[in-house]
Structure 1
Amino acid sequence: MLGITGLLIAILILAVLAYKGVGALPLTIIAGMVVILTNGMGIWESFSEFYMTGYLNFFKNYFFIFAASSLYAKLMEESGAAIAIGYKFVDWFGSKR
């Protein structure tokens, strides 16, 4: 029962800290530590085998999406399209919003 409670607390921590703007790496380390401690797992084995494997596999699987989106963002910045879109939104919704 403590393990399930720890998992729910970790999900709550993920939601609250993500809302506050905390980065992904420290956020997942904190939530992972909560899960590890409440489930009685070994800290070193859990982080080195399970956490790092999952974290690195996520970036490996989505690397091309990250690379393409960063190239697209740089293209939008260099061409001035991002600023033009921002000004258009201000025209549509007003400067107060």
Structure 2
Amino acid sequence: MTAAPARARSFPRRPAAPCTFTPRTPPQDAGAEWVVDPTGDVPAWRRAHEKAAVAVRGPLTDLLLIVCKRRAPCTAGVEVLGDTGLLVFWLERVSFG
């Protein structure tokens, strides 16, 4: 599957590593993990299992609410591993809608 642009908007300073979002609730198959890659000209996402600078794991609903800025990443039941600053950087700059 090719990467799709998250939104055609460049970051003023591009982070050097991607983020992963992994749901802990079923289905936990190969297509249930997403990589957000802000390292190109525009952010892109893909379904994949990859090593990343930061990994966010939790219930699928919580992951969606975090990405849409309706819930904080420090929510109970959500685990953030790695470079928390990268996650904050990405969340401050991304918008959907």
Q: Which has the larger radius of gyration?
A: 1
Q: Give the TM-score range, shorter chain.
A: under 0.3
Q: TM-score, normalised by structure 1?
A: 0.26
Indicate the structure with greater strand content.
2
Q: TM-score, normalised by structure 2?
A: 0.26
Name which structure has the greater RCO, CA cutoff 8 Å, separation 6+: 2
